Amino acid sequence: MATKHKRVDIQGSEKKALSGAKIVGSVPDDERFEVTIRLRSKNPSDPVSSSSPFVDTLPQNRTYISRDDFNTTYGADPQDIAKIEAFAQENGLVVVETSPERRSIVLSGTAGNFNTAFGTKLQHYEHADGTYRGRTGALSVPSDISDIIEGVFGLDDRPQAKPHYQRHNPQLVSSKPKSGSATANASNGSFTPPQLAALYNFPQGLDGSKQCIGIIELGGGYRPADIKAYFNKLKLPVPKVKAVRVDGGRNQPTTADGADGEVMLDIEVAAAIAPKAQIVVYFAPNTDQGFLDAISKAIHDNVNKPSVISISWGGPESAWTAQSLQQYNAIFQTAAALGVTICCAAGDNGSADGVNDGAQHVDFPASSPYVLGCGGTKLAASGNTITNETVWNENANSATGGGVSAVFPLPTYQNSANVPPSANPNGGTGRGVPDVAGDADPASGYQVLVDGQYFVIGGTSAVAPLYAGLIALINQKLGKPVGFLNPLIYGSLASKGPFNDISTGNNGAYSAGLGWDACTGEGSPNGAKLLAGLGG
């Protein structure tokens, strides 16, 4: 006879209903879906955190762990996996996928069985933007497996993140964007990605060959015909773009008014900077489970092996559960150990990040200390010269994100960055966001082709793939991935001029100034100097 174990709450699993949401009924007991469980590492000491990628060491002197070796040393313990499989069987759940390297198990079952297994009650909720399956309170499991499980994702399928892009002009801006001169379009001040690469002095003679850029998308899709047309008009090689399905997500283009604008912006910016790089787009549902699984699969992808990943989706830290923040952050730490750079958009709604509670909020995942947070500027140019660059701030709903994390403490690499205390009452000093910046104001935005139409699109969504493309070029030149850039940016690179300091403007609660600030970080890129500083 099986021994009954006391039930224990899963730390950090507490959830609240979305603001304004109303319960419209219980989820039927026979409704089926899948859930991802994150397990602890077999190596509790996790010495990866003290390895060379986490200190101010040039890429050629860094030692990264391979994906296979990471699985061997830091993956899930087979005995832990067996215990969770037994737990699943006891509760009528089916094991769909086991991934020791990602420390995850995917279970399929009914709402009734999941309610029993995790001590919760799933309800259907209705809110301003639609409906979702949700829960409130904490999850619980038997005490004999409580130490094994670090997070449960997928019981709740509310939208987790939003794309950080803004469309400036719904009209066709140009049928023939130019690939040569960096002069902005006179009628709207917009740029093609190659024009921005010239303005930001990206290294020449490189095309991203033998590199792979991963892109995370939580909706929308791309049309190969659009990609071909866009790059033909730029007179650039048509990039190789591959879609990877995660948790049922897929390349599903709709209209230019939907998430297609985000997908095409990301692909076209990254690939225009590094046209010979392989572009792999990981499509997943916009849930905490889908987002987590997409990032994890991209980082551990042993087939495509992206060395840099662009993420243009996010949300204020307050919108995430503690278990989500912890598990996403652990995955980003893994990326750093593997030599994979993660570029994340810092948000498009100023220092409040779109939250109307009178407080300041930073965007996650840009606030993770293991990612390169990408803020936004407004850019003006004449010929191949930047004439003015300031903080992007048109209004509270069209301004770069940035500020001080309420979750993650000040990382060691920012000790000398003069990160201010949080602008919130009684706020301490945490991780400062962003790290770097680039053109993001829709008024000086990017000319992209979406569903057959050219638009000018801005937002920090554009800055993440801009840096991803630059890093692909640098990786190509160095012959080794730069990996986790942050310790270098705030360390030995600081004196080598790899960034254009932005000292004018604010994003609400924070103002730009000399050196690092909570609007544009260290500034916008000087690509050639960044490459030189990294040993290229």
Cα separation, 437 vs 222, whole angstroms: 26
**Contacts within 8 Å (CB) and 24+ apart, 128-132:** 128/20, 129/159, 131/24, 132/18, 132/21, 132/156, 132/157, 132/158, 132/159
461 carries an active-site annotation? yes
Catalytic residue among 150, 262, 288, 389: 262
User: 156, 33 in Cβ contact below 8 A?
Assistant: no
441 is catalytic: no
End-to-end CA distance of the chain: 66
* CA within 13 Å, CB half, 526: 17
269, containing H or E segment: helix 260-273
Find the catalytic residue in 301, 461, 517, 524.
461
Decide: residue 172, CB within 10 A, 0-12 exposed, 13-18 middle, 19+ buried.
exposed
Helix (H, G, I), strand (E, B) or coil at 294: helix
Of residues 201, 482, 439, 511, the one with CA closest to residue 340: 482
Candidates 34, 150, 266, 293; catalytic one: 266
103, with CB counted inside 10 A (0-12, 13-18, 19+), is: buried
Q: Is 14 a catalytic residue?
A: no
Q: Residues 342, 370: contact at Cβ < 8 Å?
A: yes
Q: Are 481 and 342 a contacting pair, CB within 8 Å?
A: no
Please state, in angstroms and as integers, the Cα–Cα distance from residue 150 to each residue in 77, 82, 135, 205, following that order.
13, 16, 18, 46
Using only the alpha carbons of the chain, give its radius of gyration: 22
Q: How far apart are CA 314 and CA 319, in angstroms?
A: 10
Please say whether the beta carbons of 499 and 375 come within 8 A.
no
Residue 253's SS3 state is: coil
Q: Report DSSP state, residue 330.
A: H
Residue pair 280/304 in contact (Cβ under 8 Å)? The answer is yes
> Which of 349, 386, 344, 351 shows the shortest CA–CA distance to 499?
386
CA distance 409 to 413: 11
Catalytic residues: 262, 266, 461
